[in-house]
Structure 1
Amino acid sequence: MTSVILVVVIAIVVVLAGAALLAQPYLRRKRLRHRFGSEYDHALEHTEDRHAAERELVERERRHDSLELRALTSERKHEFTEAWTSVQERFVDEPADAVREADQLITTVMAERGYPTEGFDQQVADLSVEHAATLGHYRDAHLIATKHAQGQASTEDLRTAIVHYRALFLDLTDSHTTHKKDTVS
């Protein structure tokens, strides 16, 4: 191999390596946007910069990968569906109690699926990896429930909260998500 050919080969390798390094942040951003959807934008709005937001989302993925998530058995799914129906029926006579029960049922379903339930912010972070599409509903329902606890929510607001909780409930109970540690099919 002549020295000219060797120089050309080295130059091509250097250019390709440089292109790969430059493309890496773009590909990571594209992957995170696809996986997290609107949650990606939410993370951007609530952190200091894009790199911090992306680090946060990657950390959520790492934590999520360490969870031992499982699908609901058909029996448990049926029990939870009946409990949800009861929550909705209760709304007619006692809307505030129904909203509290809806929130508790969401937490119970999360625990049954293997999600930690140590606090709202952590619940949102853990759910964001596989349930990003319904997180806006969960946040909105939680905000209304908090406003209600402060005496600042109307019955119509509580109805809206139930609708939001239902979106996440359906996502959690109808989820066909498989996880590498799933033990129930």
Structure 2
Amino acid sequence: MSSGILVIVIVVVVLVAGAALLIPPYLRRKRLRDRFGPEYDRTVEQTEDRRAAERELAQRERRHEQFELRELSAERKEEFTRAWTTVQERFVDQPADAVSEADQLITTVMAERGYPTEGYDQRVADLSVEHATTLGHYRDAHDIAIKQSDGNATTEDLRTALVHYRALFLDLTNGHTTQKKDTVS
């Protein structure tokens, strides 16, 4: 074999090996970005290490796979919608109470759908797998609720919180799960 052909073979082998090393992380990154949307960027920014952030997101997916998520029945959707309407009506006279009730209703809907509800940070992580597009609303509403508990939220802040909670509420009650375990129609 001539030295020119040997060089070409070596270059091709190096290129194939390089591609084999670079393509899987790229595909994993693309899949996670597609799945988590803005939550991917937020997690990478907070972690400051892309690999660690991607491991965390993959862990969230593995945990999420263990859930037995289900759709809400039409009756339960209607009940929750009536409860949401009551929360909105209560806002007129008791805005702080309405915001607290909205948060509680979100947690109740999550539990009904099959999500664990063991704490705010864990709820956020669990929701991020299928509800990443509305997760920012949940965070913003929660931040305002904390501001309210400190006595620093205005009525306009509370109205904004309620709007944010409504976005997640609608996503949870009208959205569809990618898992089809125990689906209720």
Measure the CA separation in 2 of the matches of 1:12 and 1:46: 39
Aligned to 1:73: 73
Aligned to 2:160: 160
Question: Cα RMSD over matched residues?
Answer: 2.1
Report the TM-score, using the length of structure 2 for normalisation. 0.91
Q: For 1:57-78, what per-residue CA distance to the aligned partner results, in whole angstroms no more than 9, with x for missing partners?
A: 0000000011110100010000
Q: Which residue of 1 aligns with 2:170?
A: 170
Letter in 2 for 1:148: Q
In structure 2, the partner of 1:129 is 129
Is 1:37 the counterpart of 2:37? The answer is yes
Letter in 2 for 1:66: Q
CA 1:67 to 1:9, structure 2 compared with 1: closer, same or farther past 3 Å? Answer: farther
Question: Does the aligned pair in 1 maintain the 2:70–2:181 contact within 8 Å?
Answer: yes
**TM-score (normalizing by structure 1):** 0.91
User: Which residue of the partner structure matches residue 114 of structure 1?
Assistant: 114
The aligned counterpart of 2:27 is 27
Cα displacement string for residues 129-167 of structure 1 (whole angstroms, at most 9, x for unaligned residues): 000000000000000000100001000000000000000
Residue 45 of structure 1 and its aligned partner are, at CA, apart by 1.8
1:97 aligns with 2:97: yes
Report the AA paired with residue 135 of structure 1.
Answer: L
Specify the code of the residue in structure 2 equivalent to 1:50. Answer: R
Corresponding position of 2:149? 149
Counterpart for residue 51 of structure 2:
51
Question: In the alignment, which residue of structure 2 is the partner of 1:86?
Answer: 86
1:20 Cα shift? Answer: 2.3
Which is worse superposed, 11-20 or 144-153? 11-20
Query: Quick one: percent identity of the two aligned structures?
Result: 76
Residues in 2 aligned to 1:171 and 1:13: alpha-carbon distance in whole angstroms: 49
| Superimposed CA distance per residue, residues 66-118 of structure 1 (whole angstroms, 9 cap, x where no aligned partner) | 11101000100000000000000110010000000000000000000000000
Instruction: Say how many residue pairs are matched.
Output: 183
Secondary structure (helix, strand or coil) at the match of 1:160 reads helix
CA 1:45/1:11 → structure 2, altered by over 3 Å: closer, same or farther?
closer
Distance in structure 2 (CA, Å) of the matches to 1:56 and 1:14: 32
Could you tell me which amino acid in structure 2 is paired with residue 99 of structure 1?
V
